[in-house]
Amino acid sequence: AQSVTQLDSQVPVFEEAPVELRCNYSSSVSVYLFWYVQYPNQGLQLLLKYLSGSTLVKGINGFEAEFNKSQTSFHLRKPSVHISDTAEYFCAVSDRTGANNLFFGTGTRLTVIP
Amino acid sequence: DAGITQSPRHKVTETGTPVTLRCHQTENHRYMYWYRQDPGHGLRLIHYSYGVKDTDKGEVSDGYSVSRSKTEDFLLTLESATSSQTSVYFCATGPRQGLEEQYFGPGTRLTVT
């Protein structure tokens, strides 16, 4: 079975500062990894995904994430955040089998402070 | 945008009443999913479908049933709603198994009093 741990439930950061949102996963098989963002009162939208190949993945809105197999991590980073990045961020893992079911972490609420 | 709509968007109902939530997609995606979102739990899979009339249970399926009679529609039914089913429900779709991400609807906020 797969599981995902997001180590920080809330992350406040000043505008234009860098941010890192942490994600660790547990799985006995190879996985696909995803980061989704949820803006207030909206559904989730994909930020980026790791399927294979380069371990550094670039996504939308200037975000990137690095897959580290030895540490079973997939941390999300942005070098300079904007007010509009205030949202909840979810890390998810898929076990590459069956119906591509996703297992989500509990989310990290990023608040960008002016 | 995968063209996913959910209805109703908000519903308040009483304990013990049946409730049906509808998910409709216009993308002809094969896979459809129902999740619930609760504080401190993230999103948890309730049921999913891998084709018309083909469904299976997810992590938190107790108290829920689903049906998929057409590719575009996936219904979630609470046979007898309980207060523990107060939540925000999201539908998602996926074009094929394996590589693709899932596309999410706007959500339905259900309150059971």
pLDDT at B98 over 70: no
Residue B1 confidence (pLDDT) = 52
Using CA coordinates, name the residue in chain A closest to B34: A101
Minimal-distance CA residue of chain B relative to A103: B44
Contact A108, A21 (CB under 8 A): yes
User: In Å, what is the CA distance from B22 to each residue of A45, A67, B77?
Assistant: 20, 36, 9
CB B24 within 8 A of CB B43: no
C-alpha to C-alpha distances, A8 to A57, B42, B51, B61, nearest whole angstrom: 21, 13, 37, 28
Q: Does residue B50 belong to the interface with chain A, where contact is any CB pair within 8 Å? A: yes
Backbone angles phi, psi at A44, to 5 degrees: -90, 145
Q: What is the mean pLDDT of residues B80-101?
A: 87
CB contact under 8 A, A44 and B104: yes
Q: Does A44 touch chain B (CB under 8 A)?
A: yes
Choose among B54, B79, B49, B82: nearest CA to B65: B79
Note the pLDDT of residue B22. Answer: 98
Residue A78's pLDDT is 98
Question: Average pLDDT of B78-90?
Answer: 96
Chain B interface includes A107 (CB < 8 A): yes
CA angle A5, A7, A11 (to 5 degrees): 135
d(Cα B107, Cα A43) in Å, to the nearest integer? 6
What are the chain A neighbours of B41 within 8 Å (beta carbons)?
106
Percent of chain B with pLDDT over 90: 81
pLDDT classification of B24: cutoffs 50, 70, 90: very high
